[in-house]
Structure formats: structure tokens, C-alpha cells
DNA sequence: TTGCACATTAGAATTATTCCAAAAAAGACT
DNA sequence: AGTCTTTTTTGGAATAATTCTAATGTGCAA
């Protein structure tokens, strides 16, 4: 028995786990949580599955997203990034370091509570992305 | 005398208003508020300024965004859209009608109040986009 | 084992956008 | 107006990310 949101056994209900799919998923789940792009994922996948193609990485990412196993994250028109964090969250892009941080709502906050939504709205998905700078201790000039 | 946030005279401080820039801006400000793409803007601009090129529309949009006269809006990896609404707001994409609606925060809500931000974060910009369906009265099956 | 549906692949195609170099326009100053 | 300089515009080429295509591979099931 494991926690309900863990897929660390690398199985996804209803999806045939080929070696490529498994490896793409593995790279996201237990590789660095740095929101890699398809091209970066390909590099990582190649360590264990050399010969994998970029097209396959895109294919795998597509089915994984469709099966709600991972999320696709977009910053402006940059290359899409992918993340295995399935909890509701947004992203903060620190333009100092280039790093992307997951951002959660404060406890008890619901998106619908804070937005002026037209009556009869049903939200299927949302994306919250922030851009700014994280002030580090060594901020001098 | 007019309201402080109106630029309906089609002047933007610090920006030379060529006929193309003026027309691109005008199309956004007093054309339909449907968040058009660059290609759609070009079509509209051509009514008054035929011969305008897509490259110019992109150029104009770029300087307008830089001068904070309009905002660029991205939905996933779709073509960028542009909107003249400078108030803080997000966007709701109704997948029934294809329409995009501006969404504001409920009064008094600040983004920083509701998100668990790392200490020392300064937000420079953010984007909130929702996707879902707006239930209309003629929803049957 | 053979058949079949699904996956993967390399490379071509597509799409949105940016780049480029040349022509045109806008000021500024006589 | 006439000339000079700088900024804009333009069409087309270039780029980047992603998707498509057609051929090949793989693995389960009968």
C-alpha cells in the first residue's frame, strides 16, 4: 500500500508502459524536479534508453498528459515544460536563477473563491504562472 | 478631460505613433474585445491601412507591449493574443464558444495574499488562464 | 507462428514568430 | 522645399518547437 497519488512503480492505469514511456515517466518522477523541456527529457532518457527519438518523447509526453500522469507547463511562448507534480499548483519562474518553483495556494484557498467568474462557469483546468526575482542573501549592487 | 486610464486619443507616451502603430492600437482599443491574434489584427488593420505587413503588426505589438499599452496573452502553445485591458486580470477560455473572457479578482484580493510564495519573492508579472465551459441556457443533452 | 493493433522512428511538414537587408517615412535643420 | 539622419516598414528568408507521415518494429493473443 502506498500513498494514493504516488505512481512511483511506474505504472499508469490504462496505459501500456513501453520502455520509452516508462523511461520518460521515470525521468520526470525521480529525476531532478526542474521542469524540463522535451529536448531536456530526451537527453535524460537517452542515458538508459539510447536511440530514443524526440518524436517519441513528444508522443510519450502527450499520452502521459492525457492520462493525467504529468502536467504540461507553459511560460509565454517558450518551449513547453513538464512536471510530475499532480497537486494543484502554479509556477514561479525566477529570472535570476532561471529556476522554476512550484507554488501552492495558501491552505483553504480555492481559485473560484477569489475570482470574479461569470455565472455558470465550470473550470476544467487552469494555469497560474508568475515571473519575477527571488532575492538571495548575496544581493549587493 | 477624460478618464485617467483611457488612451482613446491613440497616443502613447514616449512612442512615435506611426500610422501602422496607431491603427494596430486602434483596432485593439476600439475594435471587438475578442483578444485577437497577430494574424487577426492584420486583417482588421488592413481595412484602414491596406498594405500593412504581418511583420509590422508583430513589430507594433512588440513596442506596444513594451510600452505597457497592451498586454500579450498566451493560451498553452497557441498563437499569442493581445488585449488592451490594462487592469490586473486573468482570462477564461470558454471551450463552448471559443470566446475569451477577462476575469478579475474579487475586490481586495491580492495574488500574494493567496499564494504560498517563497520568502523574498518579487513578482514582476503573472498570467492566470482558465479553460472550461460556460453553461448557457440552451444546454440540453 | 501468425496476425494485428499499437509504438517508435527519421525525416519532412507545419506554424508562429523573428531576423534581415533594403526601401520608405519621419523628423530636424537649413 | 532640400538634405541628412534615424526610425519604421516590408517581403522574404530563417528559426524553433512541435506535429505529421509512412515505414518499420514489437509484443500479445489466438
Chain-centroid distance of CA A114 in Å reads 24
Query: Looking at the structure, do residues A96 and A67 belong to the same domain, yes or no?
Result: no
Query: Looking at the structure, do residues B62 and B101 belong to the same domain, yes or no?
Result: no
Domain of residue B23: give its range.
Answer: 19-83
- Strand D lies under 7 A from the Cβ of residue B67: no
Query: Looking at the structure, do residues A78 and A121 belong to the same domain, yes or no?
Result: no
B28 CA, D4 C1': separation in Å?
36
Check residue A2 and give its pLDDT. 36
Query: Looking at the structure, do residues A57 and A36 belong to the same domain, yes or no?
Result: yes
Query: Looking at the structure, do residues A100 and A70 belong to the same domain, yes or no?
Result: no
Residues 49-68 of A with CB under 7 A from strand C: 49, 51-53, 55-56, 59-60
Nearest to B76 among A74, A101, A113 (CB): A74
Range name among A51-60, A109-118, B59-68, B128-137 with the lowest pLDDT average? B128-137
Residues of A with CB under 8 A from a CB of B: 72, 74, 76-77, 80, 90, 92, 95, 101, 103-106, 109, 111, 113-118, 120-136
Q: Per CA to C1' distance, which residue is closest to C25?
A: B18
Shortest CA gap B118–chain A (Å) = 8
Percent of chain A with pLDDT over 70: 90
Does the residue A102 lie in any domain?
yes
pLDDT in tens, B10-66: 899 999 999 999 999 999 999 999 999 999 999 999 999 999 999 999 999 999 999
Does the residue B1 lie in any domain?
no
Chain B residues in contact with A95 (beta carbon < 8 A): 124
Check residue A10 and give its pLDDT. 79
Does the residue B13 lie in any domain?
no
A55 CA, D19 C1': separation in Å?
9
> Per-residue pLDDT averaged across B4-13, rounded?
64
Which of the 8 DSSP states describes residue B9? T
Query: Looking at the structure, do residues A96 and A125 belong to the same domain, yes or no?
Result: yes
Does the residue A14 lie in any domain?
no
pLDDT in tens, A65-78: 999 999 999 999 99
Does the residue A139 lie in any domain?
no
- Give A135 or A129, the one with higher predicted confidence: A129
Contact status, residue A139 vs residue B131, Cβ threshold 8 Å? no
- Strand D lies under 7 A from the Cβ of residue B16: yes
DSSP for A3-61, written as a single string: -TT--TT--BTTB---HHHHHHHHHHHHS--S--BHHHHHHHHHHHSTT--HHHHHHHH
The two beta strands, A90-94 and A100-105, are: antiparallel
Query: Looking at the structure, do residues B35 and B51 belong to the same domain, yes or no?
Result: yes
The CATH number that applies at residue B64 is 1.10.10.10
The CB density around residue B84, as the number of other CB atoms within 10 Å, is 19
Check residue A22 and give its pLDDT. 96
Euclidean distance between the first and the last CA atom of chain A, given in angstroms as a whole number = 53
Query: Looking at the structure, do residues A63 and A94 belong to the same domain, yes or no?
Result: no
Question: Which residue's entry shows cell 482570462?
Answer: B91
> Per-residue pLDDT averaged across A3-23, rounded?
76
Q: Count CA within 13 A, CB hemisphere, residue A48.
A: 13
CB contact under 8 A, A125 and B111: no
- Strand C lies under 7 A from the Cβ of residue B80: yes
d(CA B107, CA B9): 29
Query: Looking at the structure, do residues A38 and A76 belong to the same domain, yes or no?
Result: yes
Under the banding of pLDDT at 50, 70 and 90, the label for residue B137 is low
> Per-residue pLDDT averaged across B108-116, rounded?
91
Chain-centroid distance of CA B55 in Å reads 19
Query: Looking at the structure, do residues A79 and A95 belong to the same domain, yes or no?
Result: no
Query: Looking at the structure, do residues B73 and B121 belong to the same domain, yes or no?
Result: no
The CB density around residue A130, as the number of other CB atoms within 10 Å, is 25
Domain count, chain A: 2
Contact status, residue B130 vs residue A123, Cβ threshold 8 Å? yes
Does the residue B5 lie in any domain?
no
Residue B1 has pLDDT above 70, yes or no: no
Does the residue A13 lie in any domain?
no
pLDDT in tens, A38-87: 999 999 999 999 999 999 999 999 999 999 999 999 999 999 999 999 99
- Cα angle A131, A136, A140; round to 5: 110
> Per-residue pLDDT averaged across A5-23, rounded?
81
Query: Looking at the structure, do residues A74 and A102 belong to the same domain, yes or no?
Result: no
Q: Which candidate, B136, B135, B50, B127, places its Cα nearest to that of A124?
A: B135
Mean pLDDT (chain B) is: 90
- Give B138 or B9, the one with higher predicted confidence: B9
Grid coordinates representing B47? 481595412
Does the residue B117 lie in any domain?
yes
> Per-residue pLDDT averaged across A14-28, rounded?
95
Amino acid at each position: 500500500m502506498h500513498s494514493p497519488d504516488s505512481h512511483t512503480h511506474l505504472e499508469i492505469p490504462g496505459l501500456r508502459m513501453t520502455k520509452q514511456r516508462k523511461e520518460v515517466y521515470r525521468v520526470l518522477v525521480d529525476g531532478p524536479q526542474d521542469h524540463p523541456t522535451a529536448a531536456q527529457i530526451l537527453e535524460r532518457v537517452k542515458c538508459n534508453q539510447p536511440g530514443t527519438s524526440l518524436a517519441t518523447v513528444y508522443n510519450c509526453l502527450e499520452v502521459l498528459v492525457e492520462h493525467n500522469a504529468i502536467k504540461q507547463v507553459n511560460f509565454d511562448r517558450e518551449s513547453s515544460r513538464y512536471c510530475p507534480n499532480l497537486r494543484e499548483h502554479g509556477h514561479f519562474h525566477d529570472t535570476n536563477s532561471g529556476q522554476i518553483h512550484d507554488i501552492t495556494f495558501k491552505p483553504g484557498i480555492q481559485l473560484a473563491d477569489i475570482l470574479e467568474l461569470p455565472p455558470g462557469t465550470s473550470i476544467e483546468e487552469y494555469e497560474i504562472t508568475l515571473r519575477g526575482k527571488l532575492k538571495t542573501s548575496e544581493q549587493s549592487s
